[in-house]
A and B are shown apart, each in its own frame.
Chain A
Amino acid sequence: GQQLNQSPQSMFIQEGEDVSMNCTSSSIFNTWLWYKQDPGEGPVLLIALYKAGELTSNGRLTAQFGITRKDSFLNISASIPSDVGIYFCAGRGGSNYKLTFGKGTLLTVNP
């Protein structure tokens, strides 16, 4: 089946720093999604990407759909303590419904 490699597995940064994380796939995806999970909560959608090369921003967050359709990255600028959480990439291949999730990036922001 499709697999997603998400890196890094974890990050420890200082408040104000920029952060970058990415996902790569062994096969082509048609949609990339980025979610954030706070402790004790479910994942919440941050950004959705639908076209190869698409670059989309949501406040301090920017994500891109790789031109090869096999990768995506998420950048967070000027991190703040509430950015702490687990960030998941998710991709859709041929199925209309099935999302494949990356293993997550645990972000810790030191004030």
Chain B
Amino acid sequence: DTAVSQTPKYLVTQMGNDKSIKCEQNLGHDTMYWYKQDSKKFLKIMFSYNNKELIINETVPNRFSPKSPDKAHLNLHINSLELGDSAVYFCASSQQLGLAVHIQYFGAGTRLSVL
């Protein structure tokens, strides 16, 4: 079983469209994250939810809206896609238990291409 799974793995779409990426973790973790990895492989945190509550909200355009229906799921909806949104988006999760809160487990990524 995949611990942190994202769908879709690849997403090719036109500028201006709205799209969603889904993430699910079966690790029983309390906290989930979305990262963006650009073409230079730099990993940047976007959002984090702890028990369905938003705890990290970096400087991200408000076209990006995370939603956490329960602590095992964190979805990312993007409105009015732009060329600069093309990147790999990673979901991650961690558990709030002593020192282990700092260990984040990543999904395989969603490769978004905006044409």
Contacts and interface: CB of A to CB of B under 8 A. Distances in A.
Is chain B found bound to chain A in the same assembly?
yes
What is the interface of chain B mostly: helix, strand, loop, or mixed? strand
B45 A98 contact: yes
A111 interface: no
A40 B10 CA distance: 11
Contacts of B12: none
Interface of A: 31, 33, 35, 37, 40-45, 48, 50, 86, 88, 92, 95-99, 101, 103-104, 106
Contact of B42 (A97, A99, A103): A103
B103 A48 contact: yes
Query: For A40, A42, A48, which residue has the most chain B Cβ atoms within 10 angstroms?
Result: A42
- Residue among A43, A45, A86, A97 with max Cβ neighbours from chain B (10 Å): A97
B43 A101 contact: yes
Contacts of A37: 41
Nearest to B96: A96
A36 B17 CA distance: 33
A86 B48 contact: no
A33 B101 CA distance: 12
Contacts of B64: none
